[in-house]
A and B are shown apart, each in its own frame.
Chain A
């Protein structure tokens, strides 16, 4: 059972009478880049919100490496190893780029230092700050953001903001990374570059990736398997090529 990084069982949520997602069963193997696609309003982001604890599922469970995380808080789920980015970028706009990443490193046991130690500037404060800064720089280097590390996050161009969000999520050293429309608003060059980056981080950080994307080229280029959602239910769950030739999927996207 534990061979899957993420395993959801009959996961579902309803808001009042609206079943935003129901009976979602997804199993993702370690090191996989898995796609979650479907037309607008299909419930993709809802699934992300369920997996990160923003919403509590009304039915079903989900497990990370065999451990049941259903019902935990957002913070707890992140610490267990699921990190995410947001469809509408949510950076800490008033903070510099490097500080954004350092917030991601906050819970890393390597940089442990209590508030009292910081308030009174005990030695461990300096050691952990320095180490955090170095680690943050390393992560930024991978995303080619090291030069901009002292700029305010909101001053970055859009594409770099998306990258920074991924960098920040990776800083929490997740086992599973959820990317919500990472290529939205990017031009074809940036998208191609992003595809390489996603593969690179999969290998380098040893993470498994679950992504939502409307750009089907991006999905085809990265994912082996996808789940297609429509109206909160799973429409198809197979390899990318099969999914895209499935008549039900085509109908959901472009109608009859």
Chain B
């Protein structure tokens, strides 16, 4: 996309931040100045970021809820882990083994993405969410019941552990690749087609957009990177247990995407980092049954954020007191209320894909212009 030169750097700031962080921690680690626990934390962060970015493509940009994202990760972890375990016997824990396992894990997960994308062509909303959830559970159950020789069965698959000093650097390189691919995809005509499907599928079809192709594309790319996240997981742990990739983990990734803001990749990255950090820190403080306190807090955050961001009743409140308005007030940003960045989505404007009935009821009335809906940024400008 060709834009004015003065704002172009903004598009790359996320890469820059990740690169700088990686270089700083990477050099600390290579020279032996980084605690092993920090290295492990960074590995987990890179995996979480991969998962959040890839899920955000489907949830934030295609507008479909996927509750089986951990299922793709599971496929990647098992398949990539198996390849790694086999290759490591002949080639050792080399970077080549890692790259090969990443390729295999990503590819197999991508194939699963196509398979799960197919129902997405016929189903929407709640139904699709349930299908993805079922997919995740099926994957889990299949790997749990494999024989010990093939994928370890209930005991889990033993996988090689990559050098702790470097694995997180590789993780962040993969994050940057994932970010580049998905962000480039979104900021292109293909990304426009995907967001068009989210905004109004009927109109997108009428504009000649190949809905089948783009839904499958979004699911495949998303699944591929989730699979890569899984491979990374297998390298970062000694065993891969299918029970770790259940519904709860899918929800945790969803929390990251929701916390980061729908259709906001950078927000997702921040949320993934924060949640992973909190998970690890809290795990040392909260032990035993108190460990669920953390889940309780996530649940509350999820509920409060979603209600705050979406409740029609809180609309005026939300417009007056939000981050953008605040920044505008203290003149940190020049804010034109009418203009927004083009890939941001506001939930209450994303059409009701799920409730067919609501679409029906909207359509039978003649919509009395946007005036009725109100301009979401109106009061911001007046402040």
Contacts and interface: CB of A to CB of B under 8 A. Distances in A.
Question: Is chain B in direct contact with chain A in the complex (CB below 8 A)?
Answer: yes
A125 B188 contact: yes
B174 interface: no
A102 B192 contact: yes
A129 B207 contact: no
Interface stretch (A10-18, A114-122, A224-232): A114-122
Contact of A120 (B1, B184, B190, B198): B184
Nearest to A107: B208
A95 B205 CA distance: 16
A44 interface: no
B332 interface: no
Interface stretch (B64-72, B129-137, B278-286, B341-349): B341-349
Nearest to B212: A75
A130 interface: yes
Interface in A148-188: 150-152, 154-158, 161, 168-169, 171-172, 184-185
Contact of A158 (B185, B342, B370): B370
A119 B185 contact: yes
B366 A106 contact: no
A172 B208 contact: yes
Contact of B367 (A52, A88, A92): A88
Given A113-B189, A152-B340, A88 B363 contact: yes
Given A102-B189, A103-B193, A129-B2, A75 B202 contact: no
A168 to B, nearest CB: 7
A185 B189 contact: no
B342 A78 contact: no
B366 A99 contact: no
B86 interface: no
B58 to A, nearest CB: 15
A91 B203 contact: yes
B370 A155 contact: yes
B200 A88 contact: no
A119 B181 contact: yes
Contacts of B342: 95-96, 99, 150
Interface stretch (A79-87, A205-213, A247-255): A79-87
Nearest to B185: A119
A235 B135 CA distance: 54
Residue with the highest number of chain B CB atoms closer than 10 Å, among A75, A88, A133: A75
A90 B195 contact: no
Contact of B339 (A91, A150, A171): A150
B370 A88 contact: no
Interface string B336-371: 001110101110011100000000001100111111
B366 A184 contact: yes
A152 B348 CA distance: 14
Nearest to B3: A133
B192 A119 contact: no
Contacts of A68: none
Given A75-B205, A129-B1, A184-B366, A155 B375 contact: yes
A120 B369 CA distance: 40
Which of B199, B263, B350, B362 has most A Cβ within 10 Å?
B199
Given A94-B195, A94-B350, A156-B370, A83 B189 contact: no
Nearest to B186: A118
B211 interface: yes
Contacts of B367: 88-89
A163 to B, nearest CB: 13
B206 interface: yes
A121 B184 contact: yes
A1 to B, nearest CB: 26
B209 interface: yes
A155 B376 CA distance: 9
A110 to B, nearest CB: 12
A27 interface: no
Contacts of A157: 369-370
A143 interface: no
Contacts of A158: 369-371
Nearest to B213: A115
B349 A154 contact: yes
B373 interface: yes
Contact of B206 (A52, A118, A125): A52
A113 B208 contact: no
A146 interface: no
A96 B32 CA distance: 50
A182 B96 CA distance: 61
B196 interface: yes
A95 B2 contact: no
Contacts of A121: 184
Contact of A91 (B184, B189, B200): B200
A218 interface: no
18 contacts: A75-B210, A79-B208, A88-B367, A90-B200, A92-B195, A92-B196, A94-B349, A96-B340, A99-B195, A103-B192, A103-B207, A104-B207, A111-B189, A118-B191, A129-B188, A155-B338, A157-B370, A158-B370
Given A78-B206, A106-B209, 14 more contacts: A75-B210, A87-B366, A88-B363, A94-B198, A106-B192, A115-B188, A119-B181, A120-B181, A120-B184, A130-B2, A154-B370, A158-B369, A161-B370, A168-B207
A-B residue pairs, 10 tightest by C-beta: A118-B188, A78-B208, A158-B369, A92-B199, A90-B203, A74-B205, A103-B196, A115-B190, A107-B208, A94-B345
Interface of B: 1-2, 181, 184-185, 188-193, 195-196, 198-200, 202-211, 217, 263, 338-340, 342, 344-346, 349-351, 362-363, 366-371, 373, 375, 377
Interface of A: 52, 54, 73-75, 78-79, 83-84, 86-96, 99, 102-107, 111, 113, 115, 118-121, 125-126, 128-130, 132-133, 150-152, 154-158, 161, 168-169, 171-172, 184-185
